[in-house]
Amino acid sequence: MHRNAYVLLLATTLFWGGNAVAGKLAVGHASPMLLTSLRWAFAAAFLGAVGWSRLRVDWAVARRQLWLLVALGGLGFTAFNAALYSALNFTSAINASIEQAGMPMVIFAANFILFRMRVSWGQILGFLLSLTGIALTASHGDLRSLLALDMNFGDALMLIAVLVYSAYTVALRFKPDIHWLSLMIVMTSAAVVTSLPFVAWEIGTGRAIAPDATGWAITAYMVLFPSILAQIFYIRGVELIGANRAGLFINMVPIFGTLLSVMIIGEDFQLYHAVAIVLVLGGIWLAEHSGRKMASAEELLAAEKHSSDA
């Protein structure tokens, strides 16, 4: 059972790591906003065909929080991918992959600020290490450029994308209790609707590029692998080994993204990329390890208190 979960979760992170590479390959073959809209339009059509009966069962609950689901789809699916694909016009897929690894730490900080979740010194140190790795990547190995506010436009867009997806993840705690398939149908449909103003802007400003044969092939990859299969595999992986253990596999996304960028696109892997990966993943590991220890200590304390009360 565990072996099946590991295969599914590794495939999931491979597909997600390939999303940045696909976005880089799409430059000149399909414009970012059209690419985002087409990706979610096809995904919504497929998921709707498969899960329509399930959505009918859940619709009464989903309708009561429809605006929240529309906001989640617009934020996590439309805004994030529009920023990601736009960023790849100006920065490397390696940079985009490593910078995405900052999401767990931004989520951690948001939960602390907004919901006063307890943190340990290990989590704080892990956050700072990951933040240093992201800054090193965004500054292309020269942290002084950040002090001078001299940052590549693509890397700045990626940092916005990271903030957007982190906000989406934190907001997921408020989603209605419905089947994952119903949730995906509503949010992908919302992504299509919320992407249309971006597409209109792209067409109106003359920036739109209709997909050619390569663009359609990339779109097909994005629909089938990062949008559909990755979601299904991840959910099944969580069912097999639990959310906490499955979540650790997300740390593989920047690794796969970097390897695919070098192998497929031929991007140069610099020393600062290696240092940044070590800092980011090391920081995430330290934060999660410290968080698990703190949670275990709290559970033990609660058990002892319950035993003494009894």
Determine the average pLDDT of the residues in 223-249: 76
pLDDT digits (tens, 9 = 90+) for 163-194: 898 888 888 888 898 988 999 999 999 999 99
Ranges 95-104, 197-206, 295-304, most confident: 197-206
- Average pLDDT of the chain to the nearest whole number: 83
With 0-12 / 13-18 / 19 or more C-beta atoms within 10 angstroms meaning exposed / middle / buried, residue 190 is buried
- Residues 31-49: tens digit of each pLDDT: 999 999 999 999 999 999 9
Interval 125-159: pLDDT, tens: 877 777 777 777 767 677 666 655 556 788 889 88
Higher pLDDT, 34 or 1: 34
Lowest model confidence (mean pLDDT) among 5-9, 241-245, 283-287 = 241-245
Indicate the angle between helix axes 153-171 and 121-138, nearest 10 degrees.
150
Among 80-84, 145-149, 263-267, the minimum mean pLDDT is found in 145-149
162 is written with which tokens? 């990271």
pLDDT computed for residue 84 by the predictor: 92
Quote the percentage of the chain above a pLDDT of 90. Answer: 40
**Among the ranges given (165-179, 203-217, 276-290), the one the predictor scored with the smallest mean pLDDT:** 276-290
Q: Which is higher by pLDDT, 302 or 233? A: 233
Residue pointed to by tokens 């304390």: 301
Give pLDDT, residue 303.
59
Surface-to-core class of residue 265, CB atoms within 10 Å of its CB (0-12 exposed, 13-18 middle, 19+ buried)? middle
Does the structure show a pLDDT above 70 at 261?
Answer: yes
Evaluate if residue 86 carries a pLDDT over 60.
Answer: yes
Paired tokens of 154: 């693509």
Which among 247, 246, 277 is positioned nearest to 4, based on CA atoms?
246
Note whether 199 and 34 are within 8 A (CB). yes
Task: Please say if the pLDDT value at position 290 is more than 60.
Answer: yes
**Burial class for 282, CB neighbours closer than 10 Å (0-12, 13-18, 19+):** middle
Most confident of 128-132, 179-183, 210-214, 277-281: 210-214
